[in-house]
Structure 1
Amino acid sequence: MNYFTQPQLFISAKAKKLGLQLIKELYIQRSARLAFYLDVNPSFDGHEAVLFWTEHYLAEYPDANFSDIQQQFIRSIPES
């Protein structure tokens, strides 16, 4: 029998923690089409896009705290 596994995102524990906090606080749904705005792989769902973006942001700004990340995230998404 063949078993297929879903591709995994490899992100740091800090990026995962802060990304999940961002998802919770901003009520981001998995179906949100955020990849285009966050400049990540367009095949990522809303949660994956946030986690991957958070990883990239922390790579550029390793000392960033949650408030910095949240502000930059909000600036990245246009108002509807």
Structure 2
Amino acid sequence: MNHFASPQLFISPKVKQLGLELIQELYIQRSARLAFYLDVNPAFDGHEAVFFWIRNYLEEHPEAGFSEIQNHFIRIVPQY
């Protein structure tokens, strides 16, 4: 029997924590089409897009906290 193994996201604990907080705070659905706005791989679902966007954001702004990340997200994604 073959089992499909879904690919794992390789993100840091900090990115995971910030991503989950943002997803919960803004009620982001997995089906949200965010990749275009967040400039990440269009194959990513809404949650994956958030995690990878935060990872990329922290590479440029390593000291950013949740409030800064949330405010920037709201500015670039029109529906939030």
Query: Normalising to structure 2: TM-score of the pair?
Result: 0.93
Name the counterpart of 1:25.
25
Q: Give the AA of the match of 1:13.
A: P
**Do structure 1's residue 3 and structure 2's residue 3 form an aligned pair?**
yes
For structure 1, the residue ranges without an aligned partner over 5 or more in a row are: none
State how far apart, in whole Å, the 1-side matches of 2:79 and 2:22 are: 17
State how far apart, in whole Å, the 1-side matches of 2:39 and 2:8 are: 19
Would you say how many aligned residue pairs link Structure 1 and Structure 2?
80
Residue 7 of structure 1 and its aligned partner are, at CA, apart by: 1.1
Overall identity of the aligned pairs, in %: 70
State how far apart, in whole Å, the 1-side matches of 2:70 and 2:60 are: 15
What SS does the aligned partner of 2:47 have? Answer: helix
Name the counterpart of 1:59.
59
State how far apart, in whole Å, the 1-side matches of 2:8 and 2:75 are: 27
State how far apart, in whole Å, the 2-side matches of 1:44 and 1:34 are: 8
RMSD: 1.3
Name the counterpart of 2:16.
16
Query: Normalising to structure 1: TM-score of the pair?
Result: 0.93
Name the counterpart of 1:40.
40
State how far apart, in whole Å, the 1-side matches of 2:18 and 2:79 are: 22
Q: Give the AA of the match of 1:11.
A: I
What SS does the aligned partner of 2:68 have? Answer: helix
